[in-house]
Amino acid sequence: MGCQALFRAEYENASRLKYAIQALSKIGIDAEVSAKPEGLGLTVISPDKVMMAIVEVPLSAFIDYQLDDTYAFIVPADQLNNIFKRATRNDRVILEYEPELGNLRLTMVDKKTEVARTFELRALPSTGGLGEPKYRGYSVRLVLGATDFKQYVSDARAIGASDLLFKTDGEKLVLEAFSEPYSYTAILEKGNPLIDIDIKEDINMSFMLSSLQAAAKPATASEEMIIELGTAAPMKILYRFKGPETMTVWISPVQ
């Protein structure tokens, strides 16, 4: 007989988190899950410490949320992704954490048929030490369509480039990539295609395309995104999904 779950949460649309979980698995090996009174958080850091990502699911997003204490535990990001890949549009998901057994149980329930599928993951206790990096404000702030960002990253990858350069030109942001004998340039300005742009000071910085490609995974599930860039500081990307959930990604620039 199993132990009683000390954390239980029921979430209406399992497929809504599918692309965010996929991005987490592309960034880090282990995901730290933090269950707090205000909601659920999932955090990963890349092995080379270049990237960090946090998915936040507030209390208002859950059908049911039961918690007798604050918990933090580690699960394999790739296995978590494999489970959420199985989620359909009809599935809600129930998460149950049992500290004594050291596992996280995820049950996908079809909302039409009530057919349930249950998966269990190894869950190791964590100190909950993965917090957001220190943020010193931005030099450039962009608001754009999430799929536009994904397109620019794909374009630069298509020529075989390894980095993507972000630089300001007046009130515009220019993206450039190079891979001899090829080059790629995109000019972004307000209304074409940017929803908004705020430039406080000029920037000229590059980011690895492999990191940007991983960060672009949630674009499919998000209508727009906010990118903040600061001199000698990580890029900050904020995705807002159709519900109250958010995902924030930090990427360190190429030195």
Give me the residue label for tokens 């190429």. Answer: 254
Q: Note the helical H segments in the chain.
A: 18-27, 77-85, 146-158, 209-215
Tell me: pLDDT of 5 over 70: no
> Rounded to an integer, what is the distance from CA 239 to the centroid of its chain?
7
Q: What is the pLDDT of residues 159-175, one digit of tens each?
A: 999 999 999 999 999 99
Q: In angstroms, how far apart are the furthest CA atoms of the chain?
A: 67
What is the pTM assigned to this prediction?
0.91
Alpha-carbon distance 206 to 251, whole Å? 10
Terminus-to-terminus CA distance in the chain, angstroms? 54
Alpha-carbon distance 106 to 179, whole Å? 44
User: Quick one: DSSP state of residue 2?
Assistant: P
How many CA atoms lie less than 13 Å away from 1 in the CB half-sphere? 1
Q: What is the pLDDT of residues 56-115, one digit of tens each?
A: 999 999 999 999 999 999 999 999 999 999 999 999 999 999 888 899 999 999 999 999
- Per-residue pLDDT at 138: 93
Which domains are assigned to the chain? 7-125 (3.10.150.10), 140-251 (3.70.10.10)
Helix (H, G, I), strand (E, B) or coil at 167: strand
When pLDDT is cut at 50, 70 and 90, the band that residue 209 belongs to is very high
- Per-residue pLDDT at 109: 97
